[in-house]
Amino acid sequence: EVQLVESGGGLVQSGKSLRLSCAGSGFTFEDYAMHWVRQAPGKGLEWVSGVSWNSDNIQYADSVKGRFTISRDNARNSLYLQMDSLTPEDTAFYYCAKADDLWSGLVDFWGQGTLVIVS
């Protein structure tokens, strides 16, 4: 059974940093691109960032470019999101999501999310 478990969310002051983690299991982690998607309370989904299976291709939404850094450790079956210079507009549930192949932008499975609140 595919599982994605996010951690690292919480309350943080504006201007500070936070690092999210995602642990994958039930699938061969290194065979898939991975993404972060966020959703502000009561709002729609917003794609944040994606990374190919081997980290050679990394993409960011314009809203986070230069402030957020995505990374992965295939040996640990883990995905990360380093978030710097946080603002209240970054307050959201952050979902870790699995793509359907090595490079794809298609998300086929989601974690349950971790809440980040920026005050």
Partner 1 sequence: QSALTQPHSLSGSPGQSVTISCTRTSSHVAGYDYVSWYQQYPGKAPKLIIYDVVKRPSGVPDRFSGSRSGDTTSLTISGLRPEDEADYYCCSYTGSYPYTFFGGGTKLTVL
By the criterion CB under 8 A, which residues form the site for partner 1? 33-35, 37, 44-47, 50-52, 57-59, 61, 95, 99-101, 103-113
Q: How far is the CB of 16 from partner 1 (least distance, A)?
A: 27
Residue 30's φ and ψ, nearest 5 degrees, are -70, -5
Nearer to partner 1, 13 or 56 (CB): 56
How many alpha carbons fall within 13 Å on the CB side of residue 79? Answer: 33
Helix, strand, coil percent values for the chain (each to nearest 5): 10, 50, 40
Q: How far is the CB of 86 from partner 1 (least distance, A)?
A: 22
Amino acid type, 15? G
Nearer to partner 1, 86 or 96 (CB): 96
